Amino acid sequence: MRTTINSMRFCYHVRQFSLCSSWSVSVEENLMQADLSVLGMYHHADLVVKAVMIGLILASVVTWAIFFSKGAEFIKQKRRLKQEQQLLSEARSFTQAREIVQQFAENSFSRQLVNEVHNELELSSGSEDNEGIKDRSAFRLERKVAGVARYLGRSNGYLATIGAIAPFVGLFGTVWGIMNSFISIAHSQTTNLSVVAPGIAEALLATAIGLVAAIPAVIIYNIFSRTINGYKADLGDVAAQVLLLQSRDLDLSASSVPSVSAHSAQKLRIG
């Protein structure tokens, strides 16, 4: 009797093991049949998740387009500014500086700074208040340098936006995909892994794409911000150099006027 019971128990365990084995084999077969590649998960994704993925991919394309275009522009501008700064350092007067910048390109920021000071000198030609001329010239140059910094950073807003919202957009796609997976479980009335896994994988793919779009955008934004700040500082040095030349010319012209007047008065006394 005891032998019969043991035999029945053994048969029961063997049957359970065979059922579990057949279930695991069927799950593995179903998972193998499901295309879990990136392209396959995209094709099987919900319409909303597809839209999220496409939007994030486009955002990533925009990020890299800005990186290559603006990166080339920054390298060109920094190299040009360094050469112009070396040439302007040879000037001993504002007049010489004006002659030097004539060989610069029309869109040269150094040339624009010199032109700003020259315009102020022309507008203030009837004024004898040299300190007022210097203050107005300094204000013009300060505004010009700030405007150049804004011009160079005109694409940074896109990078900041992509870096800030891309992870949340990807998270939205993930939540939507997991919600659809739970709905599929409810409709199929089974917790079979082959039913749940593909939907969850598609949902997590949206988060992965969001991170791929956001991380480079944040890194590139920080690199460009530091580059713009450095360029602004270098351009500020050029502006200070131009102001120095203008101040020297104004002081020399002011000191030459009394000497001429004194010489004329001496000649009148002698006569």
| Closest-CA residue to 171 (of 216, 214, 210, 212) | 210
Instruction: Give yes or no for residue 193 having a pLDDT over 60.
Output: yes
Is pLDDT larger for residue 257 or for residue 216?
A: 216
Is pLDDT larger for residue 202 or for residue 191?
A: 202
- Per-residue pLDDT tens for 207-255? 999 999 999 999 999 999 999 999 999 999 999 999 999 998 888 887 7
Question: How confident is residue 87, by pLDDT bands cut at 50, 70 and 90?
Answer: very high
* Contact predicate 167/55, CB 8 Å: no
| Closest-CA residue to 152 (of 209, 96, 83, 72) | 72
Instruction: Give yes or no for residue 125 having a pLDDT over 90.
Output: no
Mean pLDDT confidence for 53-62: 95
Please spell the DSSP secondary structure of 90-138, one letter per residue: T-SSHHHHHHHHTTS-TT-HHHHHHHHHHHHHHHTTT---HHHHHHHHH
- According to the model, what pLDDT value does residue 13 have? 47
Instruction: Give yes or no for residue 28 having a pLDDT over 60.
Output: no
Q: Decide: helix, strand or coil at residue 125.
A: coil
Comparing 54-68, 159-173, 221-235, 243-257, which segment has the lowest mean pLDDT? 243-257
H or E stretch including 66? helix 47-88
Mean pLDDT confidence for 26-54: 68
- According to the model, what pLDDT value does residue 27 have? 40
Instruction: Give yes or no for residue 168 having a pLDDT over 70.
Output: yes
Comparing 55-59, 72-76, 190-194, 198-202, which segment has the lowest mean pLDDT? 190-194
| Closest-CA residue to 203 (of 184, 190, 224) | 184
